[in-house]
Amino acid sequence: MKIVDLLKKESIDLNGTVSDKKETIEKMVSLMAAGGNITDVERYKEGVFLREEEGTTGIGEGIAIPHAKTDAVAKPGLAAMVVKDGVDYDSLDGEPVHLIFLIAAPNTEDNVHLEVLSRLSMLLMDDDFRANLQSAESVEEFLGYIDAAEKAKFPDEAEQEEKREEKPAEKTGYQILAVTACPTGIAHTYMAAESLENKAKEMGYTIKVETNGSGGDKNVLTAEEIAACDCIIIAADKDVRMARFDGKPVIMTKVANGISKAEELITKAMSGEVPVYHNKGGEEASMSSEGESLGRKIYKSLMNGVSHMLPFVIGGGILIALSFLVDAGNAGTDTFGNGTPLAHFLNTVGNTSFGMMFPVLAGYIAMAIGDRPALMPGIVGGLLAKAGTSIFLPEEKWISSGFFGALIAGFVAGYLMLLIKKLLEKLPKALEGTKPVLLYPFFGILAMGAIMIFLVNPPVGAFNTWLYNGLAGMGESSKVLLGALLGGMMSIDFGGPFNKAAYVFGTAAIGSGQFDIMAAVMIGGMTPPIGIALATTFFKSRFTKSEQQTSITNYIMGLSFITEGAIPFAASDPLRIIPPCVVGSAVAGALSMAFGCGSRAPHGGIFVVGIMEHAPMFLLALVIGSIITMAGIVLLKKPLTDQTK
């Protein structure tokens, strides 16, 4: 959002005369009001002064950038004033302020004020630019200096603007917009984005793809782009904010289809036959709430919980594993993992993070179903599942209902909150404000506590005890079969429901001390990309040049425990790729179990081998499984002819 576009001539004063900070802000607010951006001047002014109470916006170097984000703002705007004699603004450097920019931002999720604040700060770091603004003799000259500075600072933006000006007859914006998102926010999200972008370019269409990855939303779609586009593709296996797409044709599908069916999706998007989406859930509406089967909604709610849970599990699990590594001298003792100050520190922090697994899982499953009010009872339910609270037993005999209890808590809390909302929707409007801060928390926690303590924890805790004892008492042959099953599941759909089910089972097993299960799961996920990479390296004649070029990428993804590297190959030739991958992963998982390998870390691949139990045997099992995968692919795939390369 360009600075020069937000500044109106009537909101600029080049000869400001003010005596103190209060008068300066009042003058700036009147300039902002003159630009027509504010619906309630007093409320906006109150917001600006409240922001100043948190800390001065006089940033030094003669600059102040006051701002407020409030419902009193109709649309984003800027006001500017030059105070040639300076004014005492309580600046950080104690010097007078000569140049003031006031930002007005509407109370939306876009955080326009932060974007404008960042942009202004970068421009105002230039001494010459500040001097030019302070010496400008006309508003036109003032705006000209800003326009020139923005073009110099953001050349790509200026180039795009020039191109638009050269072709005024062409439609601006993108023909297709898309959002990609997967539960972990790592591989599928970006692979789907790349597939859609490449296919759209190949077909001659313009597209912009927003990725909802683990590092946050990137390349976010703007309101202007949404308004101008022809169709929107949502390729996601977790919640996506949908209210912004109201009134636009929208295709909703799985993230895997964004990878393997990009051409089909783009063709459909440009067909003109896509139904128009109508938002029915208010600002909190998400993809899972509308237009999908019950099974799909349940799966996506679960994946929403898993995606938020995984960072806690992975980070905490690796720290716990490191605590045992640095405390190797106390192996076999009661203090193992806590025997040194460093080990105790790592173990404490790791267990704290790992312990958040159940409340976060339950909370975000609930939120996917019942929106924000359901987050609170979901988290409480997850905590009760972790504690195993029961009034039928003394505290020392409480048995955690664990992962399954948290899973149940998440879904119960979500649908419970939908019921509570329904029951309270006919209350007088005067009580509307009490719902989110009083009624929802009170009834949500009360009902959730009763359900978990009386109905969920006793039977599920008993089931957990039975399951733990059963796994612990498994014979060698049974464990090998379990390892083969879990390893094979990791390769059936490469990040899909089977893969996620096996992985979540592995992470839950860590909490009960079943580290061999996690090792079998991890090796099963590492084998397919490495096996495919070996095949493309040593048997090039069976692959196209573009497939051969992915060898290095697949080695890296496989060693990093990112199974999704196999997806492009599986999508293009499933009958010759998937079976060898399943067999290779199953063999690797079985061997890992047979060798007694164990992993306290729930992720990391080759990077956590050093803290695994029987690490050399784990690597041997990985090599054997990968070679079997390669051999199976080579046997099933024939060398390509010149016409098929």
* Residue 202 neighbours by CB under 8 Å, 6+ apart: none
CA distances from 639 to 536, 544, 634 (A): 12, 10, 9
Q: Phi and psi dihedrals of 10, rounded to 5?
A: -70, -10
Judged by average pLDDT, the poorest of 7-16, 383-392, 410-419 is: 383-392
Question: CA 369 to CA 297: how far, in whole Å?
Answer: 8
Q: How far is CA 433 from the centre of its chain?
A: 30
Of 186 and 523, the one with more pLDDT: 523
* Nearest by Cα to 182 from 174, 171, 190, 173: 190
Output the pLDDT for position 643.
Answer: 42
- Of 188-192, 252-256, 629-633, least confident by mean pLDDT is 188-192
User: What is the pLDDT, as a whole number, of residue 376?
Assistant: 93
Torsion of CA 497, 501, 503, 505, to 10 degrees: 170
User: Looking at the predicted structure, is the pLDDT value of residue 172 above 90?
Assistant: no
pLDDT digits (tens, 9 = 90+) for 330-373: 776 778 788 899 999 998 998 898 889 889 999 999 998 888 89
pLDDT of residue 299: 76
Residue 122: which residues within 8 A CB-CB, separation 6 or more? 153
pTM above 0.85, yes or no: no
Percent of the chain residues past pLDDT 90, beyond the cut: 31
Mean pLDDT for 180-202 is 81
Q: What residue type is 590 in one-letter code?
A: A
Instruction: Say whether pLDDT at 511 is over 80.
Output: no
Say what the pLDDT of residue 4 is: 82
Q: Which residue has the tokens 């979540």?
A: 504
Q: CA dist 332 to 328, 350, 597, 598, Å?
A: 9, 20, 17, 16
Location of structure tokens 């690796």: 318
Banded model confidence at residue 628, pLDDT cuts 50, 70, 90: very high
Q: Where are the alpha helices (DSSP H) in 327-398?
A: 341-354, 357-370, 375-387
pLDDT digits (tens, 9 = 90+) for 99-124: 999 888 887 766 666 777 777 777 88
Query: What is residue 602's predicted lDDT score, i.e. its pLDDT?
Result: 84
In angstroms, the CA 519 to CA 514 distance is: 9
Mean pLDDT of 547-564: 86
**Residue 169: predicted pLDDT:** 44
Residue 55: pLDDT over 80:
yes
On the CB side of 463, CA atoms within 13 Å amount to 11
- Higher-pLDDT residue of 573 and 295 is 573
> pLDDT at position 14, please?
92
- Where are any strands of DSSP class E within 6-109? 7-13, 58-60, 63-64, 67-70, 77-87, 97-106
Residue 388's pLDDT band (boundaries 50, 70, 90)? Answer: confident
pLDDT of residue 168: 47
CB 53 within 8 A of CB 70: no
Is 581 considered catalytic here?
A: no
Least confident of 168-182, 280-294, 566-580: 280-294
Region 298-327 average pLDDT: 81
Distance CA 125, CA 309 (A): 41
* Residue 640 CB burial class (10 angstroms; 0-12, 13-18, ≥19): middle
Q: Are 60 and 93 in contact (CB under 8 A)?
A: yes
DSSP code, position 625? H
C-alpha to C-alpha distance for 360 and 410, rounded to whole angstroms? 9
Query: pLDDT band at residue 551, thresholds of 50, 70 and 90?
Result: confident
Compute the distance between CA of residue 469 and CA of residue 399 in angstroms, rounded to an integer: 13
Contact 340, 332 (CB under 8 A): no
Q: Which of 37-51, 82-96, 180-194, 224-238 has the lowest mean pLDDT?
A: 180-194
Mean pLDDT computed over every residue of the chain: 84
Q: Does the pLDDT of residue 218 top 60, yes or no?
A: yes
Distance CA 163, CA 168 (A): 9
Confidence of residue 292 (pLDDT cuts 50, 70, 90): low
- What are the helix (H) ranges across 9-111? 21-34, 41-54
pLDDT for position 514:
84
Tell me the domains of the chain and their CATH numbers.
3-166 (3.40.930.10), 176-289 (3.40.50.2300), 294-456 (no CATH), 476-636 (no CATH)
Determine the pLDDT at residue 285.
46
Question: What pLDDT is stored for residue 538 in this prediction?
Answer: 93
In angstroms, the Cα distances linking 465 to 23, 336, 351, 460, 483 are 69, 24, 21, 9, 21
Question: Does residue 187 register a pLDDT over 70?
Answer: no
Catalytic residue chosen out of the listed positions 67, 113, 188, 603: 67
Whether 582 shows a pLDDT value over 60: the answer reads yes
Q: Which of 98, 182, 188, 597 is catalytic?
A: 182
pLDDT digit string (tens) for 135-159? 998 999 988 888 888 888 777 665 6
Above pLDDT 70, what percent of the chain?
89
CA 240 to chain CA mean position, Å? 10
Q: What is the pLDDT of residue 348?
A: 92
pLDDT of 626 reads 96
Is residue 645 scored above 60 in pLDDT? no
Is the pLDDT confidence value at 287 over 70? no
What mean pLDDT do residues 67-77 have? 85
pLDDT at 290 over 60: no
Supply 127's token pair.
């001494």
